[in-house]
Structure 1
């Protein structure tokens, strides 16, 4: 995740919508429910100035703190930090099993549709028979067929929120939804977008970069809302426990309502990663040629050779130079060729001064 996390203060709109706006929502809940006297929200008619100051200061502080801590906050939700080892392993096994089941359900549905259309290959007939004989897949297949094409598309969507490589599966849904596009460049081209993220971000067209920022902003919004709710619930529980609640019934209702909403925001954050994944995929596909040119490399015509080139380039940035990386010389572009390819060239050398110390006109 580190490669995809940008500076907390980069992009005013991303900061405002992704972190400040959800912080405002949580500050309002906190002010009305937990500390109505301190916030003056309960007496807006008489204390509008104090209420506005409290709201603005609290919103700015909370939003900026959450934005600055976004890396560890994401890591917890992705299952990389704060999880007991036994629980992380158990959840990873669960998601591996879920991914394989989704894969089998999608394949079984696709083969059934081919059979109905009379296009089922002879080699796949035995596969479909095995699916129908399986006690679990056959039960799902009957239901999935009845639900139609829209359900098939939904199953495909859920499957595509997992990384292709089973070794990349993480303990959480959000972790898998993010990991699928973190591995995209490496899986297709051996271009490690995590290692070369900043270089890639600098080389892609502005529209592709903006798409990625906008897509991530939606996920940030729900993550910020979730963590803000968590802080409000913790404060409400403390307020209720010490008997300091002004309106105990409202505090109790807040404690009961916000946790289910946190689950909803988490699910929406997972769904919102679809747009983020598409934007990152576009960055890799459209940006790898400008990135290669910026690095002084020529993308080979053959896919296997391109994968070898990106593997070497990623390894060079990740681990540093070692003798085996001299193989990268095969793909390097001579500086004199950059201008012919339309790439930036080094500034021209200043003319040598004449004997009297003046430059030629």
Structure 2
């Protein structure tokens, strides 16, 4: 019972930490900024900072209650918010048109960078630098730097143009969704929840920490964008006061760019989870351990079908190594002796 209570307390702690970091803290900052806009008096007349510094205890209570309500109401929407930032915008005609425009933009960008990368690599090979850069010309060094940058940018996209999404964040996440586990025949979307159940605490914690950071960056970017729009709504009649909107706008932009960086680390953490824990998953499922990579891929093809709830799967199980549980029937049998 003590172990059960300890596990329940640990789970509650993780949920509380996630809610505090991802929902509560950004909501407090957002509501405080909204409260600042209201206290300037911009809606009723000429804005002034004098009303901002004049705070009453009831104001603090109002900010606290509104922050809690915003955090509580927006918390269940986090998954949908990340999907929106990835570029899943629905099936309406305007959404499909805009998504297609953005996907074509990213396809063109990828093809241009891939061509530049190939050109740079060919130039570097033609220079024949050998083991040292001492004989490299400034042009060759520039080619090396550009090749590194273009290689990094190209690796932020999926391997197949058909899998491209409308946003940079969506393309980074799609890259790892379609690449992690592929060498073993594992689909990460299907296997990740199972691997999280059997994985070592350090690897699972690594994934969870990166996911929290990703969700925090997305939430911050979204609330920053909303705060920018609210600033325009409050200050559009007051000239230079519109510059106040640059603060939440820059916060939103930096947070979004940060989410792209974190998405790479999140994808890497999923790759680590698969690499180090897939054999634990096979053991828990009582599946025969593979003899080779080809054998593992063949087994996982059927296993992924089972994870997708398909019928007619053919999985080879390992011999049972456990002990037969004692039952009243076999407990009553006495060994016979001659």
Q: TM-score, normalised by structure 1?
A: 0.73
State the partner residue of 2:270. 280
Relative distance call for 1:42 and 1:183 in structure 2 (3 A) is: farther
Matched, 1:263 2:253: yes
Relative distance call for 1:72 and 1:307 in structure 2 (3 A) is: same
Please say if residues 124 and 143 of structure 2, whose CA atoms lie closer than 8 Å, have aligned partners that are also in contact. no
Matched, 1:60 2:35: no
Relative distance call for 1:61 and 1:249 in structure 2 (3 A) is: farther
State the partner residue of 1:199. 194
Aligned partners of 2:95 and 2:55: how far apart in 1?
A: 50
RMSD over aligned CA atoms reads 3.3
State the partner residue of 2:318. 333
The structure 1 residue matched to 2:311, chosen from 304, 321, 335, is: 321
Relative distance call for 1:284 and 1:261 in structure 2 (3 A) is: same
Please say if residues 33 and 250 of structure 1, whose CA atoms lie closer than 8 Å, have aligned partners that are also in contact. no
Relative distance call for 1:250 and 1:212 in structure 2 (3 A) is: farther
Aligned partners of 1:189 and 1:354: how far apart in 2?
A: 44
Relative distance call for 1:353 and 1:302 in structure 2 (3 A) is: closer
Task: Give CA-to-partner distance per residue, 1:243-282, whole Å, 9 cap, x none.
Answer: 8xxxx56863334553354333222211221211111111
1:176-255 superposed matches below 5 A: 176-240=171-235, 248=238, 252-255=242-245
Task: Give CA-to-partner distance per residue, 1:24-74, whole Å, 9 cap, x none.
Answer: 22122111113568xxx9566651x32332332233332333331012211
Aligned partners of 1:62 and 1:8: how far apart in 2?
A: 21
State the partner residue of 1:28. 32
State the partner residue of 2:8. none
Matched, 1:51 2:41: no
Task: Give CA-to-partner distance per residue, 1:201-225, whole Å, 9 cap, x none.
Answer: 1111111111111112222222111
Q: How many residues align?
A: 305
State the partner residue of 1:96. 107
Could you say what secondary structure the match of 2:165 adopts? coil
Aligned partners of 1:9 and 1:63: how far apart in 2?
A: 17
Greater displacement, 305-314 / 184-193: 184-193
Relative distance call for 1:27 and 1:172 in structure 2 (3 A) is: same
Q: TM-score, normalised by structure 2?
A: 0.77
Unpaired runs of 5+ residues, structure 1, are 1-6, 120-141, 340-344, 356-361
Matched, 1:77 2:85: yes
Aligned partners of 2:73 and 2:277: how far apart in 1?
A: 32
Relative distance call for 1:231 and 1:90 in structure 2 (3 A) is: closer
Could you say what secondary structure the match of 2:189 adopts? coil
Please say if residues 19 and 220 of structure 1, whose CA atoms lie closer than 8 Å, have aligned partners that are also in contact. no
State the partner residue of 2:165. 170
Matched, 1:294 2:284: yes
Matched, 1:156 2:151: yes
State the partner residue of 1:303. 293
Please say if residues 109 and 144 of structure 1, whose CA atoms lie closer than 8 Å, have aligned partners that are also in contact. no
